[in-house]
Amino acid sequence: MTIEEAQEKVDHWIKTVGVRYFNELTNMTILTEEVGELARIMARKYGEQSFKESDKGKDLGDEMADVLWVLICLANQTGVDLTKALEKNFEKKNIRDIDRHKNNDKLK
């Protein structure tokens, strides 16, 4: 699905199953919580921390999707077209970083 389709599907789900959007501040807090859950799994899978019993069986993709879901909610309720925003972000990075990473000795 496209980003636009994802925004539409989330909006439809929120308005039919979820009743309504949480307010923006609540969703920002939920986004932070979801990023923390993703970070916890990343730290255990790719970092040096060991898995706790409660972390076992957590799906990395599902945790990423939770982050994306809440980000889409925030975009929808603040009027951000994520497709246009991402395209504009690519333009910014292509101008700003055209040689930045190629010339970074730390990446060689």
Residue 1 predicted with pLDDT over 90:
yes
CATH number at residue 45: 1.10.287.1080
pTM for the full predicted model: 0.89
Count Cβ atoms below 10 Å from residue 55 Cβ, excluding itself: 15
* Residue 3 pLDDT class (50, 70, 90 cuts): very high
Q: Which domain holds residue 14?
A: 3-79
* % of the chain with per-residue pLDDT over 70: 100
- 94 in a structural domain: no
Number of independent structural domains in the chain:
1
Residue 98 predicted with pLDDT over 90:
no
How far is 26 from 38, CA to CA, in rounded Å?
18
Tens-digit pLDDT profile for residues 10-42:
999 999 999 999 999 999 999 999 999 999 999
Cβ pair 14, 21 in contact under 8 A: yes
- Longest CA–CA span in the chain (Å) reads 52
DSSP codes of every residue in 80-105: --HHHHHHHHHHHHHHHTTTTTTT-G
